[in-house]
Amino acid sequence: MAHIITVPAFSDNYIWLVCNDKQDKAAIVDPGDAKPVIAALKENNITPAAILITHFHNDHVGGISDLLEEYPNLPVYGPYSERIPHITTKLGGDETIRIEEIDAEFKVMNVYGHTAGHIAYFTEAQGQNRLFCGDTIFAAGCGRVFNGTMEQLHDSLAKIAKLPEDTLLYCAHEYTMANIGFAKWVEPESVDLLEREKTAQAMRDDNIQTVPSLLSLEIKTNPFLRTHLDHVVERVASATGKTLNNSTEVFAAMRTWKDTEYD
């Protein structure tokens, strides 16, 4: 497995094709829309090998039925606890799955919070670590809490932060510039964040995607991974008027602050 093809969908979604060395077979990650996926497969002469689903939201699963009409008997992997059509292998986390057609193994992580059963797929290939993380962590941000909990999402981000720092994070949306805008509310004097903003803006001006991002960069600039830092605690407490006793409370206050005053 050496090549990832980005399939843009809707206004800001990314669907990922995880290809084998020959780039003639691929696993499809979170196909919310079948039409652009089928077009990309045919354009690149790729045969799909499997579908990997992170969670139940329609912009991640909406294309499954049409893909199966075009490619019958395609295996579909996804979280066991969420109502997702057509899953053939139900996953809860801590499993390792192997997709022979693309010569790749994926370690399944439970990363609950955005949804109650959200999972992610971690793989190591040719010296590069990759995490297909759905809507759990974004470039410079994280997902909202829907039917999970703040504590779950905080714990999931902490779990991701412990992965090797060279891990590439393949999230499902191009939210980077908006997320950086909020991150500057939290850490307005961060040199790393201002440099990231400059780089990301130049990429977007040239219509270049900012995803995937390196975990090492997230650790330096993503406020939701920095809730343990004293100056972040002080800033969030001041902005929200809350007494914050631990990192989970800081995270919850920060996420609510973004939900209510920034988004």
Looking at the chain, list the stretches that DSSP marks H as alpha helix, in order from N- to C-terminal side: 34-43, 58-61, 64-70, 150-161, 176-186, 191-205, 215-221, 230-240, 247-257
What pLDDT does residue 10 have? 98
Of 30, 33, 118, 135, catalytic = 135
Average pLDDT of the segment spanning 61-76: 98
Q: 33-64 pLDDT, tens per residue?
A: 999 999 999 999 999 999 999 999 999 999 99
Q: What is the total residue count of the chain?
A: 263
Of 30, 33, 59, 155, catalytic = 59
Instruction: Tell me whether residue 259 is one of the annotated catalytic residues.
Output: no
Of 30, 33, 118, 173, catalytic = 173
Q: 184-197 pLDDT, tens per residue?
A: 999 999 999 999 99
What pLDDT does residue 255 have? 98
Is the pLDDT reported for residue 65 higher than 80? yes
Instruction: Tell me whether residue 114 is one of the annotated catalytic residues.
Output: yes
Q: At what angle do helices 247-257 and 230-240 cross, to 10 degrees?
A: 50
Q: Is the pTM here over 0.95, yes or no?
A: yes
Q: In whole angstroms, give the CA distance from residue 63 to residue 35.
A: 8
Average pLDDT of the segment spanning 117-125: 95
Average pLDDT of the segment spanning 22-31: 97
Q: Given pLDDT bands bounded at 50, 70 and 90, which one contains residue 200? A: very high
Percent of the chain scoring above 90 in pLDDT? 97
Looking at every residue in the chain, the average pLDDT score rounds to: 97
Q: 139-169 pLDDT, tens per residue?
A: 999 999 999 999 999 999 999 999 999 999 9
Average pLDDT of the segment spanning 166-182: 98
Of 33, 57, 118, 154, catalytic = 57
3-262 is a CATH 3.60.15.10 domain: yes
Give 260's DSSP letter: I
What pLDDT does residue 198 have? 98
Tokens 């843009």 correspond to: 8
Of 114, 118, 154, 155, catalytic = 114
What pLDDT does residue 2 have? 60
Instruction: Tell me whether residue 263 is one of the annotated catalytic residues.
Output: no
Q: 227-238 pLDDT, tens per residue?
A: 999 999 999 999
Number of CB atoms found within 10 A of residue 27's CB: 27
Q: 88-119 pLDDT, tens per residue?
A: 999 999 999 999 999 999 999 999 999 999 99
Instruction: Tell me whether residue 24 is one of the annotated catalytic residues.
Output: no
Per-residue CA distances from 150 to 64, 65, 87, 186, 263 (Å): 29, 32, 27, 18, 17
Domain boundaries, the chain: 3-262
Residues in Cβ contact with 18 at an 8 Å cutoff, skipping those fewer than 6 apart: 1, 4, 26, 27, 28, 29, 52, 102, 104, 123, 132
Is the pLDDT reported for residue 126 higher than 90? no
Instruction: Tell me whether residue 135 is one of the annotated catalytic residues.
Output: yes
Of 33, 55, 118, 155, catalytic = 55
Instruction: Tell me whether residue 118 is one of the annotated catalytic residues.
Output: no
Average pLDDT of the segment spanning 235-254: 98
Average pLDDT of the segment spanning 115-132: 93
Instruction: Tell me whether residue 228 is one of the annotated catalytic residues.
Output: no
Is the pLDDT reported for residue 244 higher than 60? yes
Is the pLDDT reported for residue 130 higher than 70? yes
Of 60, 118, 154, 155, catalytic = 60
